[in-house]
A and B are shown apart, each in its own frame.
Chain A
């Protein structure tokens, strides 16, 4: 079974631009979560989507948004990029059929904002 895939793996943007990151979950998984990882802040939860609905949201500004499609693939969008948005963005998928939340992570997209 294929793992979680994220595209692109690397991205360089300039301040003020916007960016869209994509995540394809493991087949059968309906929950997709997004995290931002930086050396200073560690792993921070952005949001979670389940069956095309946002179920949980972290403490990030409205510039960070996402969506999930009917095939469970998810996209994350960041508008008006700032230097501080440079980070590794990780996507994780899970079955989310019971109270456990074992997540399987993709390799991440490394975003550099210049």
Chain B
């Protein structure tokens, strides 16, 4: 069975500082990995995805993530955050059977 663990429930950070949101997964089959962002009172928006190929994936809003197969991780990074990045971020894993499992979420709080 697949599982996704987001290691931090909350991450406070100052504006213009770098941030890393951690995600580890477990699966016995090849998977596809995703990061989504959810702003208050909205649905989820896709930030980026890893399907195959280069392990460094660039997404929208300046975010990027690195797939590390040996460590089964897919951490999300941004070199300089803005107030507007305050939101909840979800890591997700999907297998060829089309089931998607989401992590519990990490609340990013950017302080001025």
A residues near B (Cβ < 8 Å) are 4, 6, 31, 33, 35, 42-43, 45, 48, 55-56, 90, 92, 96, 99-108
Contacts and interface: CB of A to CB of B under 8 A. Distances in A.
The DSSP consensus for interface residues of chain A is strand
B102 A102 contact: no
A96 B98 contact: yes
A56 B97 contact: yes
B105 A42 contact: yes
Interface in B33-64: 34, 36, 41-46, 49, 51
Nearest to A6: B43
Contact of B43 (A55, A101, A108): A108
A105 B44 contact: yes
A101 B97 CA distance: 9
B51 A100 contact: yes
A29 to B, nearest CB: 13
